[in-house]
């Protein structure tokens, strides 16, 4: 679950990570009042769950409350990368002398948290990573010990941080680690963390991503979820307990079990195709669940065929087959669907599907080959 900037900063403040003064507005009138309350120039920042807001015109400087009102009217209701702007953060403008970047995330390959830092923070950090990778410092962290003093010293030296900032920088790094660990985060990012002429460090922007699997123990964060701002497909998948990840291929996949899903995608590639998604329906195969899975797959206009690969264990294949039949009555599609059933009551399941407008396969290899072939038809 991704958090909005204002939600992330609320967490930062709990850990005494300095942030600019600011509040959220949902209309232009509120924005004007908040700008008057803050005093001086303010920044109007669109609250959407995408990167690149600044380059898309979603972050604007207002020199007066009246200008803040006008800019809020322009920003609210518009879309940034397909996401509507329903709220803006009105925040004091901060004059700074340097921008740096810090983030803690998970290195899944190493199985460890990793601290990523750079002395060249700001909106072009991706370009820095591509063109000057030597400016990016990465350090793996012991999950039991977190950030130690030597990590902070190494980062400070690497980014040529002026010595008066070292102590507060070490404190911010330490508190960032605590926020990461205590909120079951998979990413905490401050970009930029700025240095001011009066020797302060302020987190001008922040991002947090929380592990969805840990929300059961992060009850207060679960309340932060802003459903209307999430991808509707993600919301649909979560509603029905489906694990869905979109790709860029043309063969849609519906499989029960993550391992079997990976094997199915491997075979699709082996036969010259490209999977359009990973979708694990898990246990059970009601018409509602199968129908939801098919709707999600078919929402991708690039899908030219669908492979349904089910291995019956606790979930019997005849139950899955009935779910598919019921779902087919609910969904009108011309996309060809290949089905392979194996395991408990597979024969009975195939008999149930025989009268449907489906392509039935005896083996996974045959199913993958057929699905790829159908996806490549003109």
Q: Buried b / exposed e across 304-342, counting CB within 10 Å, b at 16+?
A: bbbbbbbbbeebbbbbbbbbbbebbeeeeeeebbbbbbb
Per the CB < 8 A criterion, the answer to whether 306 and 253 are in contact is yes
Residue among 69, 189, 224, 319 flagged as catalytic: 189
Whether 175 is catalytic is no
- In the chain, what are the helix, strand and coil shares in percent, each to the nearest 5? 40, 25, 35
Task: For residue 205, count CB atoms less than 10 angstroms from its CB and return exposed for 0-12, middle for 13-18, buried for 19 or more.
Answer: buried
Tokens of 246: 């979109």
Whether 92 is catalytic is no
Please give the sequence-ordered ranges of beta strands (E in DSSP) within the chain, or none if there are none: 2-3, 22-25, 42-46, 59-62, 79-80, 83-84, 88-92, 98-107, 112-118, 136-140, 185-195, 201-203, 206-210, 243-246, 251-255, 277-280, 305-312, 337-343, 359-361
Closest among 316, 314, 332, 339 to 254, alpha carbons compared: 339
The residue assigned the tokens 């010293």 is 153
| Distance, CA of 25 to CA of 33 (rounded, Å) | 9
Closest among 271, 281, 280 to 250, alpha carbons compared: 271
Residue among 101, 224, 244, 319 flagged as catalytic: 101
To 10 degrees, what angle do helices 364-375 and 258-270 make? 60
Active site residues: 101, 189
């Amino acid at each position: 679950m991704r958090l909005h900037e204002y939600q992330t900063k609320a967490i930062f403040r709990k850990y005494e990570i300095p942030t600019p003064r600011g509040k959220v507005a949902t209309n232009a009138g509120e924005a004007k009042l908040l700008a008057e309350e803050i005093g001086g120039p303010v920044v109007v920042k669109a609250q959407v769950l995408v990167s690149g807001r600044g380059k898309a015109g979603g972050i604007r400087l207002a020199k007066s409350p009246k200008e803040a009102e006008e800019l809020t009217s322009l920003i609210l209701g518009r879309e940034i990368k397909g996401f509507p702007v329903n709220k803006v953060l009105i925040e004091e403008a901060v004059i700074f002398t340097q921008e740096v970047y810090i983030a803690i995330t998970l290195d899944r390959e190493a199985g460890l948290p990793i601290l990523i830092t750079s002395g060249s923070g700001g909106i072009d950090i991706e370009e820095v990573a591509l063109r000057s990778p030597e400016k990016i410092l990465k350090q793996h962290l012991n999950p039991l010990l977190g950030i130690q003093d030597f990590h902070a010293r190494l980062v400070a030296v690497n980014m040529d941080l002026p010595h008066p900032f070292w102590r507060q920088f070490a404190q911010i790094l330490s508190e960032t680690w605590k926020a990461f660990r205590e909120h079951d985060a998979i990413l905490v990012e401050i970009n930029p963390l700025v240095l001011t002429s009066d020797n302060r460090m302020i987190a001008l922007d922040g991002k947090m991503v929380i592990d969805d699997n840990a929300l059961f123990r992060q009850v207060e964060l679960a309340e932060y979820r802003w459903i209307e701002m999430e991808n509707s497909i993600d919301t649909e998948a979560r509603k029905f307990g489906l694990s869905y990840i979109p790709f860029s291929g043309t063969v849609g996949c519906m499989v029960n079990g993550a391992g079997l899903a990976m094997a199915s995608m491997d075979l699709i590639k082996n036969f010259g195709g490209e999977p359009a998604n990973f979708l694990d329906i898990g246990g059970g195969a009601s018409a509602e669940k199968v129908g939801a899975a098919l709707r999600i797959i078919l929402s991708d206009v690039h899908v030219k065929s669908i492979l349904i690969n089910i291995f019956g264990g606790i979930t019997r294949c005849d139950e899955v087959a009935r779910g598919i039949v019921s779902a087919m009555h609910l969904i009108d599609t011309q996309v060809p669907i290949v089905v392979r059933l194996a395991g408990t009551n597979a024969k009975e399941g195939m008999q149930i599907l025989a009268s449907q407008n489906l392509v039935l396969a005896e083996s996974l290899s045959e199913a993958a080959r057929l699905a790829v072939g159908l996806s490549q038809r003109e």
